[in-house]
């Protein structure tokens, strides 16, 4: 299992999230822990981002604030993954 620390912005404030990367048969899962108690509560129950066919999926989130927060983390994760793939062409799953 791989871990990474991800910086992201939410409501113009910088935060950090700890991401546990789990590789499954169906694709990769990213388990998010936000290093902020209040935001961690907002994300509670919706802390997994899945990667299917190279694109990140947030899943269904009924709450607008939670969806917005998760999208901010997903944007940062997507950017990080793009940089990783550019640095290591062998990571492409095609």
Segment 34-88, tens digit of pLDDT? 999 999 999 999 999 999 888 999 999 999 999 999 999 999 999 999 998 888 7
- Which residues face 17 on adjacent strands? 6, 34
> Can you give the pLDDT at residue 53?
84
**How much is the pLDDT for 16?**
98
pLDDT digits (tens, 9 = 90+) for 6-21: 999 999 999 999 999 9
Domain residue ranges of the chain, discontinuous segments joined by +: 2-91
Report the SS3 class of residue 53: coil
Q: Left, alpha or beta for 12 (phi > 0: left; psi -120 to 50: alpha)?
A: left
pLDDT at residue number 70: 97
């Amino acid at each position: 299992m791989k871990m990474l620390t991800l910086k992201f912005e939410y409501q113009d404030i910088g935060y950090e999230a700890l991401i546990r990367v789990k590789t499954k048969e169906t694709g990769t899962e990213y388990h998010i822990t936000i290093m902020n108690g209040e935001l961690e509560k907002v994300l509670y129950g919706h802390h997994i981002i899945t990667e299917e066919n190279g694109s990140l999926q947030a899943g269904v989130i009924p709450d607008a604030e939670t969806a917005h927060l998760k999208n901010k983390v997903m944007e940062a994760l997507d950017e990080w993954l793009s940089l990783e793939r550019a640095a290591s062409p062998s990571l492409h799953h095609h």
